[in-house]
Amino acid sequence: MNGPLADRFKAGFRRHAAGVALVVGETPDGPVGVTVSSLSSVSAEPPLLSFSLARTSSAGPRLVGCDALAVFVLAATQADLAAAYADREAERFTPGQGWVREGGRLVLPDAVATFRGRPGHVIEAGGSWVVLLEVERVDLGAAAPPLVHHDRAYWVPAELPRTRALRAAEG
C-alpha cells in the first residue's frame, strides 16, 4: 500500500496508544529481540496472544523461526530498553539492561509480566507476520505504571477520575 491511503493509515495508528513489550527468542547465533506495540490477548482458554512483526525487519525472520518465544511486558521505567530494541544498531542483551539467565532462559526481572510459549501460527499479512503464541507459562513481576507508545514517543498514562458508570458498577 503506497500513496495517500497508506500515509493516512499510518497516521491514524500513530494516534492509537498501545502498551509496549519485547519479544525475544533464542537462535543458534544467540538471542534476538524486538520491541512491539501490537501485543494483544486473543484467548484465555486456551491461552493465546498475538503480535505482529515486519517481514522487512532484521529480527522478524529470526523470531518466526524460533521454537519458543518470550514476551516481556515493559514498565514505564523501561523506556530506554524499549528504544534500544526498536533500534537496529543498538546493543542488546547486556547485563546493564537488566537481563539475567535462569535455567538457560533469558529473564528480565523488572518486566511487569512475562509470557512464554510456542508460535502456534505465523500468518503472512501484507508486509508483516501475525504471530499467535500458544502461552505455556505466565510470570508476573511487580505491579508498576505501564509504558505506552503513542505518536512515535513513549508515555506514562495518568489515571483518570472514575466515570459514573464505573462508580455504579463498583457499588
In degrees, to the nearest 5, what angle opens at C-alpha 142 toward C-alphas 140 and 148? 90
Q: In degrees, to the nearest 5, what angle opens at C-alpha 49 toward C-alphas 44 and 54?
A: 170
Determine the pLDDT at residue 121: 96
Tell me what the mean pLDDT of segment 152-157 comes to: 92
Number of domains in the chain: 1
Residue 27 host element (H or E): strand 21-27
pLDDT digits (tens, 9 = 90+) for 20-39: 999 999 999 999 999 999 99
Average pLDDT over residues 6-12: 92
- What average pLDDT does the structure give for the chain? 93
Bond into 146 cis (ω within 30):
no
Per-residue confidence (pLDDT) for residue 133, from 0 to 100: 98
Q: How many CB atoms lie within 10 A of CB 167?
A: 10
Q: What is the CATH number of the domain that holds 133?
A: 2.30.110.10
pLDDT at 1 over 60: no
Q: Is the pLDDT of residue 3 over 90?
A: no
CA distance between the termini of the chain: 49
CA distance 73 to 22: 7
The boundaries of the domain holding residue 21 are 4-170
Q: How many CA atoms lie within 13 A of 106 on its CB side?
A: 25
Q: What pLDDT score does 170 carry?
A: 77
Residue-wise pLDDT for 91-100, tens only, equals: 999 989 999 9
Peptide bond into 119 cis (omega under 30): no
What local confidence, expressed as pLDDT, does residue 169 receive?
Answer: 74
Q: Could you tell me if 145 and 157 are in contact, meaning their C-beta atoms sit under 8 angstroms apart?
A: yes
The DSSP bridge partners found for residue 136 are none
| Higher pLDDT among residues 48 and 158, named by residue | 48
What's the whole-number mean pLDDT along residues 136-160?
93
Q: What is the pLDDT of residue 159?
A: 81
Per-residue pLDDT, averaged over 149-171, amounts to: 82
Task: Please state the separation of Cα 20 from the chain's center in Å.
Answer: 5
